[in-house]
């Protein structure tokens, strides 16, 4: 019994070692917990094996060793490609997407990690050979062995609990990552692949029970609307009136001397809030999460109107989420339109795009709803919630049809469900696995639609005629030309523009990356041409942000592309935000404030003069007076005062132009604690809004004016 237990546990530890080295190198954060988990699993498996007999015992034994082996191999491959652990939700809701759309990347990734795969399967093969030669004997059942094994299970579980309690007492990262805020990537790095599976399984089982309660609650509150194309009855007025920012008590006396110079109107900032019945909101809370949300929102200070409020009121908007975009795709000679749009208009020098767990889908989620994703597939989860506070929703309620387009499959990431729920009339260039009879009308015809990746330029040619002649429009695009992998064999856009980059002093990976973004540049050039020809350039705002940086590149490849080290702070996530209108072409507005993709939506709502409530979002209007904050997936953050790496506990305190610390040394400890709590609250807020379908309560508590 002892040797079986130690053998099974030892094999798990071997797999943990290979997984860790393949994904994170030789640094281990908490190997003790990993050992306890391996010993626990080994003891449980031995306990199951003991009463079995004959072939059944051997079959179950091989199931145990091959299950762990194949799971680890799959996790190594997935981590290498997507830079995240593969969770159950990804398998059950995204597995088909990955197989049908990412098979090239998966195959390439598998071959790249094949040495680690071989190391993983060696113990399983060895066990098979040894059992067949009868050199390994599985233990027979005795009462004493069973009791010893049971004691081992209890002891190992107790050791795991003690290790977690030590983490709690010492405020260790691994405790919070495993319990309060489950961070799969951090848990995988700190504790291992099997502890990640263990925690993910427990959460999955818990969610099954919570879903029944959620469904009942949702039915009581009403089903979410699938489209906000027409004004809804809950579109009530609020106390915030950004378009009227003058003091009503300041007037000009008409009897005064007509030759006198009138006094300038006084700007009086006003809060971006809805008028809400706070008592009603609190009374609707039927669990701790809703109680917390009500108290958080009612106590949160809203942002105020400012000098940029309403400067684009009545304008059109074209918004692109650019697949895999980074600043290092931009060159004045090869991507001149991108270069022009980034360096004129509004220029953001400290803009970041964090990488979330579901990469592209989460990037879209943040750009569209200004909430931090809750685990994986937050956009999919939002399809069952009321989502009235998107930019699409605001445009729709003003009588403007919001449109969204994607040059890939209609069904991928369930966009045929999620995007209409955000308020879009959504179309794609391919059906995916949907019925043509039901969804054929939502497919637009585009040249070379089946190329991978397909052309962003062709998408613009195919779709802009649908709205360019409307009196007012809002068009949203999810591009795909910049998708990995970056080479000249499997990437059609890189191959298409290969000649343009042939002389660049970069590896194939870097040249292919820039080449495929030349197609995005062509798309933006076409947009500007069509707007100018239609006489719409002056009253249209162009917005573009990435979904994520090109994480398919290794650190070495990305730094070669950047031409510099990206080791300072969170430099790997630095990016460009395009916020452009021709009126600011000659006199760009320079913004040095730290900001990120979660700030885009409230910023646009302020610029467009929309009547919104700033407390509904995790981000803030970039032009408000409040300090900027960028929050990352691991709850690290960047502010005006500090760059804080939660993983390493490193703090890089920022200095002003005079060389003085923005946050005085005497205040730094309190400042850091305050910001850490603020980040936790924003994470909690975002998660609970999605989990509780909480905008339904907000709408019910709003007071008509």
CA angle 242–247–252, rounded 5-degree value: 130
Which helix (DSSP H) or strand (DSSP E) does residue 316 occupy?
strand 316-322
Residues 6+ apart with CB under 8 A from 402: 228, 229, 391, 392, 393, 395, 396, 423, 424, 425, 474, 475, 476
How far apart are the C-alpha atoms of 32 and 34, rounded to whole Å?
Answer: 5
How far apart are the C-alpha atoms of 177 and 186, rounded to whole Å?
Answer: 7
Instruction: Name the token pair of 326.
Output: 């980074």
- Cβ atoms of 357 and 89 within 8 Å: the answer is no
Question: Of 77, 81, 79, which Cα lies nearest the Cα of 485?
Answer: 81
Note the maximum CA span of the chain.
111
Predicted confidence at residue 460, as pLDDT, reads: 98
User: Which segments in the chain show pLDDT lower than 70?
Assistant: 1, 27-28, 93-103, 135-136, 207-265, 704-705
3-state secondary structure of 694: coil
- Mind listing the pLDDT tens digit for each residue in 288-312? 999 999 999 999 999 999 999 999 9
Instruction: Name the token pair of 39.
Output: 């010993």
Hey, where are the domains in the chain? 2-217, 315-586+595-626
pTM, full prediction:
0.86
Helix, strand, coil percent content, the chain, rounded in steps of 5: 50, 10, 40
Strands (E), 356-512: 402-409, 425-430, 474-478
- Cβ atoms of 576 and 327 within 8 Å: the answer is yes
**315-586+595-626 is classed CATH 3.40.50.970:** no
Predicted confidence at residue 266, as pLDDT, reads: 76
Query: Could you write out the three-class secondary structure of 51-105?
Result: CCCHHHHHHHHHHHHHHHHHHHHHHHHHHHHHCCCCCHHHHHHHHHHHHHHCHHH
How far apart are the C-alpha atoms of 161 and 156, rounded to whole Å?
Answer: 9
How far apart are the C-alpha atoms of 546 and 556, rounded to whole Å?
Answer: 21
């Amino acid at each position: 019994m002892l040797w079986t237990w130690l053998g099974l546990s030892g094999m798990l530890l071997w797999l943990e070692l290979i997984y860790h080295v393949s994904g994170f190198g030789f640094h281990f954060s908490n190997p003790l917990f990993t050992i306890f988990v391996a010993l626990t699993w080994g003891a449980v498996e031995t306990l199951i094996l003991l009463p079995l007999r004959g072939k059944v015992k051997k079959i179950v034994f091989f199931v145990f060793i091959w299950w762990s082996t194949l799971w680890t191999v799959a996790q190594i491959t997935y981590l290498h490609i997507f830079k995240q652990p593969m969770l159950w939700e990804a398998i059950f809701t995204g597995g088909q997407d990955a197989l049908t759309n990412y098979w090239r990347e998966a195959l390439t990734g598998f071959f790249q990690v094949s040495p680690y795969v071989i190391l993983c399967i060696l113990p399983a093969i060895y066990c098979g050979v040894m059992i067949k030669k009868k050199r390994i004997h599985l233990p027979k059942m005795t009462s004493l062995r069973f009791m010893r094994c049971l004691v081992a299970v209890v002891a190992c579980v107790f050791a795991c609990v003690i290790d977690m309690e030590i983490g709690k007492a010492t405020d260790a990262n691994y405790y919070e990552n495993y319990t309060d805020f489950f961070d799969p990537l951090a848990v995988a790095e700190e504790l291992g692949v099997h502890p990640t599976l263990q925690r993910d399984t427990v959460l999955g089982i818990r969610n099954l029970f919570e879903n029944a309660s959620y469904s009942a609650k949702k039915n009581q509150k009403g089903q979410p609307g699938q489209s906000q194309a027409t004004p809804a009855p809950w579109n009530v007025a609020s106390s915030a009136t950004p378009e009227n920012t003058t003091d009503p008590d300041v007037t000009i006396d008409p009897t005064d001397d007509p030759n006198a110079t009138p006094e300038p109107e006084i700007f009086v900032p006003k809060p971006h809030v809805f008028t809400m019945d706070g008592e009603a909101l609190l009374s609707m809370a039927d669990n701790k999460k809703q109680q917390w949300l009500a108290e958080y929102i009612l106590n949160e200070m809203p942002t105020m109107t400012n000098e940029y409020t309403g400067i684009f009121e009545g304008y059109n908007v074209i918004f692109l989420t650019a697949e895999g975009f980074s600043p290092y795709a931009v060159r004045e000679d090869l991507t001149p339109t991108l270069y022009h749009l980034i360096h004129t208009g509004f220029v953001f020098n400290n803009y970041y795009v964090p990488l979330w767990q579901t990469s592209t889908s989460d990037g879209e989620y943040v750009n569209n709803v200004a909430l931090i994703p809750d685990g994986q597939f937050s956009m999919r989860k939002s399809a069952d919630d009321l989502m009235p506070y998107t930019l699409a929703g605001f445009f729709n309620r003003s009588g403007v049809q919001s449109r969204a387009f994607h040059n890939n499959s209609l069904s991928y990431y369930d966009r045929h469900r999620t995007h209409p729920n955000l308020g879009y009339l959504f179309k794609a260039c391919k059906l995916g696995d949907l019925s043509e009879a039901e969804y054929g009308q939502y497919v637009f015809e585009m040249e070379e639609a089946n190329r991978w990746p397909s052309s962003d330029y062709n998408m613009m040619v195919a779709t802009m005629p649908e709205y360019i002649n409307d009196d007012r429009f809002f068009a949203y695009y999810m591009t795909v030309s910049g998708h990995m992998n970056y080479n000249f064999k499997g990437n059609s856009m890189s191959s298409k523009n290969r000649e343009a980059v042939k002389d660049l002093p970069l590896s194939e990976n870097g040249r292919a990356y820039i080449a495929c973004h030349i197609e995005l540049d062509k798309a933006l050039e076409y947009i500007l041409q069509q707007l100018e020809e239609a006489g719409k350039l002056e009253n249209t705002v162009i917005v573009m942000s990435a979904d994520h940086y090109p994480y398919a590149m290794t650190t070495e490849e990305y730094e070669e592309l950047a031409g510099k080290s990206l080791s300072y702070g969170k430099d790997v996530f630095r990016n460009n935000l395009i916020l452009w209108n021709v009126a600011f072409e000659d006199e760009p507005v320079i913004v040095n404030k730290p900001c990120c993709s979660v700030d885009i939506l409230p910023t646009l709502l302020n610029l467009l003069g929309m009547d919104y409530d700033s407390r509904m979002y995790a981000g803030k209007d970039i032009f408000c007076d409040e300090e900027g904050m960028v929050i990352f997936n691991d709850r690290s953050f960047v502010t005006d005062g500090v760059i804080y790496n939660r993983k390493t506990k490193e703090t890089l305190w920022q200095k002003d132009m005079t060389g003085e610390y923005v946050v005085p040394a005497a205040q730094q400890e309190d400042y850091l604690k305050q910001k850490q709590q603020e980040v936790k609250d924003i994470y909690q807020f975002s998660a609970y809004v999605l989990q509780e379908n909480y905008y339904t309560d907000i709408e019910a508590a709003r007071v008509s004016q």
